[in-house]
Amino acid sequence: MRGTASRKMRLTERHVAALTREIADPGFSSIAGARAATDADYDALVAEIIEASPADGLWVFAYGSLIWNPAFDFIDKRVGVARGWHRAFCLGWDRRFRGNPEQPGLMLALDRGGQARGVIFRLPPDALKPNMDKLIRREMSMVPTAFPPRWINVATAEGPVRALTFAMNRKSGRYINGLSPEALADILATACGFRGSMAEYLFATVAHLEELGIHDRHLWHLQELVAARIEENHGIS
C-alpha cells in the first residue's frame, strides 16, 4: 500500500463493527419540492450525458464511495486532481442509506473551493448506456437532485481530462455547511442506515484514498475524532 507506511488509521474495522446492525430499507421518502425520479427521468439524463461526452471517452471523477465501490464497468482509471472543488460532508440529511430518522447521516459531495484528489474511471465505449444508467440510478433518487451531474476539468499525470462528476447545489435545501469537525464526528459516529453506517463509509473512503497515495487531511482528522467517539460510546480501548 502506498501512503499508509507512516500513518495508521485510528478508525478500524473493529470500530465499524460496533455500529453494525440490521436496518430495513424504509423506501423513498419525499422531500418538499422534489419527487421520486422515474425511468423517463433516468433515460433522458443518460442520453443527455452521453450526447455531451467528449469524443475521446466518457470519464467519471470519483471522490468518495465510487472510488471503492464503483457502480459501473471501466476500462481505465487514473488519479487526478479537480481544482476549484473539495470533498465535504455537506449533503444532508440522509435518513435512509447510511442514516435513519433518529440519527440522520451526512454524505460526501463536491463543494466549491480548494481542490480534491480522486480517481477518474473511463467507461467502456461500447457499453456507455447501461453503465451510465447504473451510475445515475445509484446517485440520483429524486428530481431535482441536490448534487446534479456536471462536467469538470481534472488534471492527471497523463494530461487534462474532461470528466463527469456529482457536485453540490448550494441552493438546494439539502446543503449543510458550517459544522465543526467535532459536530461532524458526532454525526458520523452514530448514524446508520440500511446500507451501513457513516463510520463504515468514512473508514472505507479514507483507507482507499491512503492506498492510492491520497492523504486528505480533513478526512484523516475526522476519522480520528469518529474513532474516539465510538471508543467512548462503546467501551472500545
Output the domain CATH number for residue 147: 3.10.490.10
Residue 139 zone, left/alpha/beta (φ > 0; ψ -120 to 50; rest): alpha
Number of independent structural domains in the chain:
1
Residues serving a catalytic function are: 139
Which pLDDT belongs to residue 33? 86
Give residues with Cβ within 8 angstroms of 76, minimum separation 6. 121, 122
Residue found by looking up cell 492527471 in the block = 156
What pLDDT, on the 0 to 100 scale, is given for residue 237?
77
In this predicted structure, what is the pLDDT of residue 50? Answer: 98
The answer to the question of residue 90 being in a domain is yes
Q: Residues near 236 by Cβ (< 8 Å), separated by ≥ 6?
A: 14, 15, 18, 230
Which residues of the chain register pLDDT less than 50? Answer: 1-5
Question: In this structure, is residue 152 part of a structural domain?
Answer: yes
Instruction: Give CA angle at 11 (8, 14), nearest 5°.
Output: 115
- Residue 141 burial class via C-beta count within 10 angstroms: exposed 0-12, middle 13-18, buried 19 and up: middle
Paired sense of beta strands 161-166 and 59-62, if any:
parallel
- pLDDT for the residue 6: 67
Beta bridge pairs of residue 151: 164
For the chain, helix (H) and strand (E) counts, in that order, are 7, 9
The pLDDT of residue 1 is: 42
Q: pLDDT digits over 194-217, tens only?
A: 999 999 999 999 999 999 999 999
Question: How far is it, in rounded angstroms, from Cα 3 to Cα 215?
Answer: 7
According to DSSP, the residues that pair with 83 across neighbouring strands are 115
Has residue 2 been placed in a domain? no
pLDDT of residue 196: 95
Q: Is residue 161 part of a domain?
A: yes
Q: Which domain holds residue 33?
A: 13-234
Helix (H, G, I), strand (E, B) or coil at 192: strand
Q: How many CB atoms lie under 10 A from the CB of residue 90?
A: 24
pLDDT at 3: 47
Q: What is the pTM of this model?
A: 0.94
What is the structure's pLDDT at 106?
97
The pLDDT tens digits of the residues spanning 50-60 come to: 999 999 999 99
Residue appearing with cell numbers 456529482: 166
Quick check: bond before 144 cis, omega within 30? Answer: yes
Q: Does a structural domain hold residue 162?
A: yes
Place of cell 448514524: 191
C-alpha cell at 70: 464503483
